[in-house]
């Protein structure tokens, strides 16, 4: 039986994200690891994603693209980074931080659709 990750060419977690055990303690240029199933590189690991969503706890149950509150001082950070353990390399890994916060492991991800300048 083929595991889902093998379909996409992943044989281990180390094939996709940069995290504390494989990063060498630094960020890396995008595209050195395998892309996710949608062809996007470095969506987990390398740097945590700075999100514009205002942080709040989830209410429970199933929600598609849950929206946070309209106002608040804390924002959402997602996805793990090169300095954290591998368990943080997933989109569900999220926590709050002050909107004015800057740090060495925090950035944002830009996706450009094919054919766009």
**Which residue pairs from 74-79 have beta carbons closer than 8 angstroms and sit at least 24 positions apart in sequence?**
74/98, 74/99, 75/50, 75/51, 75/99, 76/51, 77/48, 77/49, 77/50, 77/51, 77/106, 78/48, 78/49, 78/51, 79/43, 79/44, 79/45, 79/47, 79/48, 79/49
Residue 11, pLDDT score: 60
Locate all alpha helices (DSSP H) within the chain, ordered by sequence: 4-7
- Domain with 84, as residue range(s), is 1-108
- Say how far apart CA 17 and CA 5 lie, in whole Å: 13
Residue 75: inside a domain: yes
Residue 117: inside a domain: no
Residue 117, pLDDT score: 65
In the chain, the number of structural domains is 1
Q: Across all residues in the chain, what is the average pLDDT?
A: 81
Residue 67: inside a domain: yes
Residue 81, pLDDT score: 92
Per the confidence metrics, is the pTM higher than 0.85? no
User: Bridge partners of 106?
Assistant: 48
Residue 75, domain CATH? 3.90.1580.10
User: Bridge partners of 74?
Assistant: 98
Nearest to 36 by CA among 13, 52, 65, 3: 13
């Amino acid at each position: 039986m083929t595991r889902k990750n093998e379909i996409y060419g992943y044989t281990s977690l180390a094939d996709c994200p940069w995290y504390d055990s494989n990063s060498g303690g630094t960020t890396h240029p995008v595209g050195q690891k395998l892309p996710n199933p949608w062809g996007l590189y470095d969506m987990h690991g390398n740097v945590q994603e700075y999100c514009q969503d205002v942080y709040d706890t989830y209410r429970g149950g199933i929600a598609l693209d849950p929206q946070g509150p309209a106002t608040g001082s804390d924002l959402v950070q997602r996805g793990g980074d090169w300095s954290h353990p591998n368990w943080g390399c997933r989109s569900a890994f999220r926590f709050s931080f002050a909107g004015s916060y800057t740090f060495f492991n925090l950035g944002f991800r830009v996706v450009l659709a094919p054919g766009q300048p």
